[in-house]
Chains A and B, each alone.
Chain A
Amino acid sequence: MKKKLPSILLSLSCLIVYLFLLAPIVVVLLSSLTTTEYIVFPPEGVTLRWYIELIEHPEFIDSFILSISVAFGTAIIATIIGTMSALAVVRREFKGKNAIVQLIGSPLLIPSVVFGVALLQFYSWIGLATSPLSLILGHIILTVPFVMRLVVASLVGFDRVIEQAAMNLGASSIRVFFEITLPVIKSGVIAGAIFAFITSFDDLTVALFIVSTDVVTLPVRIYTYMQYQYDPIIASVSSIMIIMTVVLMIIIERVMGVGKIFSSKN
């Protein structure tokens, strides 16, 4: 009995941490079902009315599509750039390497508000109008450090002799990269891509500065909508985002295993 006390305490503390982490999500999900005209918890009654009413708000749908597209574009480009930088940084020695590493990493250190302001001024200076592309460009700068760090981590234990072995068997450098190197560092690359996608999809601070009236990402849409109204539509939009994320994670888990992706070894 005495021996069991620590393990009971451990379970209890785990339970509390999980409750604390998951409670807001549950609150949002349940609030979206309320029959009242305002968000309340616990919800009063059960209705899907706020989901159906979303159809009357095409601006949410547009923003959702925009956010997904921007996140997708960001993820692809940031993953390519981040992976290439990681390979260069880990494998090559060149002049100013340290400076470049610091430069690529610097967005991690700058508050995103500052970054947003800087980007706004820079875009207006070079005359770049707000578009999905300008959003993607901003998000790439924001996400490349994450991708690079994750790929660098997966390259740490990489034994380059296997590349020599492949070359020795007759593989060209391109085949060596796609058939040997990339599959081995896959976990880091995919983790980086997911990180980039989520960071972009989730970004409010930077996007706030560069959106225009007709190019509005979903987080910005939710934020501005909430400044004027506080009806459960916000909860239903949020719930859809949560469900989407969960479904995405389940698919990834089924296909390759999340644990595998986020551990640096394979």
Chain B
Amino acid sequence: MGYLRINNLVKTFNRTEVVKDLTLEISKGELISFLGPSGCGKTTTLNMIAGFLDVDGGRIEVDGQAVHLLPANKREMGMVFQNYALFPHMTVFDNIAYGLKLRKVSKVEAKKRVLEALDMVRLAGYEKRYPKELSGGQQQRVSLARALVIKPKVLLLDEPLSNLDAKLRQEMREEIVDIQKQVGITTIFVTHDQEEALAISDRIAVMYEGRIEQVDDPITIYNQPKTDFVSQFIGEVNKIQGVVVGGENGNESRVNFYGDEQLLPFQLRTNEKLDFFVRPEKIVITQKHEGEGFQSIVMKKMFLGAKTRYFLKVEDKDLIADIPNTALNPHSIIEGSKVQTFWQAEDILPSRNVR
């Protein structure tokens, strides 16, 4: 079923394992992101797939064939590099045609395919330019065309957008997804930008310290993080403490948050002090001083257009709440006032202490 299969992959640098027993299956045509902080092993894994780094253990298969022992130039992978890596002494045309020349494609055929590729990345008419005459975004498009024109088995993108400015980055990522779907190529997209990964991926593999923490579609990753690392790395999150005061009928527990008891759909050990995660947009505040929840003080507020961010304090704990301005008029709450603070039981996740 898996088109690209990575089995028990290991990489060691100076006796430190930077990739630890990594296993992953990627389906044909899928766009998967490797997401994680720097040093998590995502680029190392990509370089092993591309063949730039030797594998210290495990295997990599593409379409049923083991490739992890092949040299990089025999793997038929198209790679797009962070700094574009265009050949400075060649024109745009020659850059894109280089892979075809190596494959001994006839000149007529090569010309046709290069022009098609240029068309696809919307750079028709640029074939005589040299890389240094192009902007960063244009260079990255040439790089993408160069990788795709050889019809590789897998497309590898190594932080392809991180050298571009914010606006261009959004444009380019949409373009990359469009092209990827149009060509239907199996793609690995390495990034440290979680918003980018959420926006474009079919699935995200969240990596930390050489391991995959969770592989799931973006919505599941965001809403049902399986480990504490994923909870904290993806999106923003409040980490709060609660005390389990009692279990009720097996699958539920009663937890005390700052004086307010809430029934949560988890089985937790009674009398335990636990960390919980709740996202800023899941917190609700009202000016009522009764009902569910607890009282907190508004320390500061920040108007952000569609929403307002409230910096709250309860006991010694800081909380961030993002409230849509349609739900609550930011003018009506002044800094220093007390607000009723709560969240739905399904919006809070207990820490699993698994990192």
Footprint of B on A, CB under 8 Å? 159, 161-162, 164-172, 175, 179-180, 183-184, 186, 266
* Closest chain A residue to B78, Cβ basis: A168
User: B residues 61-116 with Cβ under 8 Å of A?
Assistant: 71-79, 81, 83, 85-89, 98-99, 102-103
Give 9 A-B contacts (CB < 8 Å), ordered by A residue.
Answer: A162-B87, A162-B88, A165-B87, A166-B87, A167-B52, A170-B73, A170-B76, A171-B98, A184-B89
* Closest chain A residue to B158, Cβ basis: A161
**Residue pair B85, A161 in contact (C-beta under 8 Å):** yes
Complex: A18 Cα to B215 Cα, angstroms: 71
**Residue pair A170, B89 in contact (C-beta under 8 Å):** no
16 other A-B residue contacts (CB within 8 Å) besides A164-B81, A169-B150: A159-B83, A159-B85, A161-B81, A164-B50, A164-B52, A164-B79, A165-B79, A165-B85, A165-B87, A168-B72, A168-B77, A168-B79, A169-B99, A170-B73, A170-B76, A186-B89
Footprint of A on B, CB under 8 Å? 50-52, 71-79, 81, 83, 85-89, 98-99, 102-103, 146-147, 150
Complex: A266 Cα to B132 Cα, angstroms: 11
Knowing A162-B86, A266-B88, the reply to whether A167 touches B72 (Cβ < 8 A) is: yes
Q: Which residues of B contact A167 (CB under 8 A)?
A: 51-52, 71-73
Q: Which residues of A contact B147 (CB under 8 A)?
A: 168
**Residue pair B73, A172 in contact (C-beta under 8 Å):** yes
Q: Which residues of A contact B72 (CB under 8 A)?
A: 164, 167-168
Closest CB in chain B relative to A180 CB, distance in Å: 6
**Residue pair A169, B102 in contact (C-beta under 8 Å):** yes
Complex: A171 Cα to B71 Cα, angstroms: 10
Q: Which residues of A contact B71 (CB under 8 A)?
A: 167
Most buried by B among A164, A165, A168: A168
* Closest chain A residue to B98, Cβ basis: A169
Complex: A164 Cα to B87 Cα, angstroms: 11
Q: Which residues of A contact B81 (CB under 8 A)?
A: 161, 164-165
**Residue pair B98, A162 in contact (C-beta under 8 Å):** no
**Residue pair B102, A171 in contact (C-beta under 8 Å):** yes
Knowing A164-B52, A165-B79, the reply to whether A171 touches B88 (Cβ < 8 A) is: no
Complex: A184 Cα to B88 Cα, angstroms: 7
Complex: A168 Cα to B73 Cα, angstroms: 5
**Residue pair B79, A170 in contact (C-beta under 8 Å):** no
Count A-B contacts at CB 8 Å: 66
* Closest chain B residue to A170, Cβ basis: B102
Closest CB in chain B relative to A209 CB, distance in Å: 43
* Closest chain B residue to A176, Cβ basis: B73
Complex: A171 Cα to B79 Cα, angstroms: 14
Closest CB in chain A relative to B159 CB, distance in Å: 12
Q: Which residues of A contact B83 (CB under 8 A)?
A: 159, 161
* Closest chain A residue to B143, Cβ basis: A165
* Closest chain B residue to A186, Cβ basis: B89
Complex: A136 Cα to B150 Cα, angstroms: 47
**Residue pair A170, B103 in contact (C-beta under 8 Å):** yes
**Residue pair B150, A162 in contact (C-beta under 8 Å):** no
Closest CB in chain B relative to A90 CB, distance in Å: 18
Q: Which residues of A contact B89 (CB under 8 A)?
A: 183-184, 186, 266
Q: Which residues of B contact A161 (CB under 8 A)?
A: 81, 83, 85
Residue in contact with B98 in the complex, picked from A159, A164, A166, A172, CB distance below 8 Å = A166
Complex: A170 Cα to B51 Cα, angstroms: 11
Knowing A164-B52, A164-B72, A175-B102, the reply to whether A169 touches B146 (Cβ < 8 A) is: yes
Complex: A161 Cα to B83 Cα, angstroms: 8
Closest CB in chain A relative to B69 CB, distance in Å: 16
Q: Which residues of A contact B87 (CB under 8 A)?
A: 162, 165-166, 180, 184
Knowing A159-B85, A162-B86, A266-B89, the reply to whether A171 touches B73 (Cβ < 8 A) is: yes
* Closest chain B residue to A161, Cβ basis: B85
Q: Which residues of A contact B50 (CB under 8 A)?
A: 164, 168
Closest CB in chain B relative to A139 CB, distance in Å: 31
Q: Which residues of B contact A186 (CB under 8 A)?
A: 89
Q: What are the nearest 9 A-B pairs in CB distance?
A: A169-B99, A165-B85, A170-B102, A161-B85, A167-B72, A183-B89, A168-B79, A167-B73, A162-B85
Complex: A169 Cα to B51 Cα, angstroms: 12
Complex: A42 Cα to B266 Cα, angstroms: 107
Q: Which residues of A contact B77 (CB under 8 A)?
A: 168
Complex: A184 Cα to B76 Cα, angstroms: 25
Complex: A100 Cα to B76 Cα, angstroms: 39
Closest CB in chain B relative to A169 CB, distance in Å: 4
* Closest chain A residue to B47, Cβ basis: A164
Q: Which residues of A contact B75 (CB under 8 A)?
A: 168
Q: Which residues of A contact B102 (CB under 8 A)?
A: 169-171, 175
Complex: A175 Cα to B99 Cα, angstroms: 12
Most buried by B among A161, A171, A172, A179: A161
Q: Which residues of B contact A171 (CB under 8 A)?
A: 73, 98, 102
Complex: A165 Cα to B74 Cα, angstroms: 13
Closest CB in chain A relative to B317 CB, distance in Å: 46
* Closest chain A residue to B131, Cβ basis: A162
Most buried by B among A165, A167, A184: A165
Most buried by B among A164, A172, A175, A183: A164
* Closest chain A residue to B149, Cβ basis: A169
